[in-house]
Amino acid sequence: MRLFIAIPISDAVKQKIGDLQQPIEGIRWQENEQMHLTLKFVGEADMQLKKSLQKRLDEIEHPTFTIDLKGFGYFPERGRPKVLWIGLRENSSLRVLQQKVEQKCQAVGIAPEDRPYKPHVTMARVQGASKRTVNAFINEHKKFTVRDMMINQFVLYKSKLQPDGAQHSRLQTFLLNDGT
């Protein structure tokens, strides 16, 4: 099974993101159910690795915090865009949580990511739209922001690839500490 660890996006924020979507040739918008903020892509895992990972992730203690969604970009940064994303204002609590997740993954034998962590919410898959078209969308919505999005959990997800995109299902939710 394919696994990843992410922060779910609230329905209210998904709606705000969805309000930006408009028909654009060569852009396939992400379904609301698929929107999340990835902390770690695990990849293929057997049942034993899944159980070990769940146990380790359950050990994480981290306070609740807020994040601000701000700005857009695309991957890859050079060449033809393939993914359009919404960025985040720099957030030290998010970085620390991501590092804790990374450490727990390494503790069960999952290789560390070889690229620096770039927090984002995937908004669309670019399938043929030009860089100019993508940049026009980014410029049109550059003032978009969501402030103080409460983060009180992260989730271990299973991802099943389908012809029309991946289907994500929650395997386990890990609550952050609310200070009480």
Q: Which residues are catalytic?
A: 36, 120
Contacts of 122 (CB under 8 A, 6+ apart): 30, 34, 35, 83, 84, 85
Task: Return all residues near 134 (Cβ < 8 A) that are at least 6 apart.
Answer: 27, 74, 81, 84, 126
d(C-alpha 134, C-alpha 128), whole Å? 10
Q: Judge whether 121 and 85 are in contact, CB under 8 Å.
A: yes
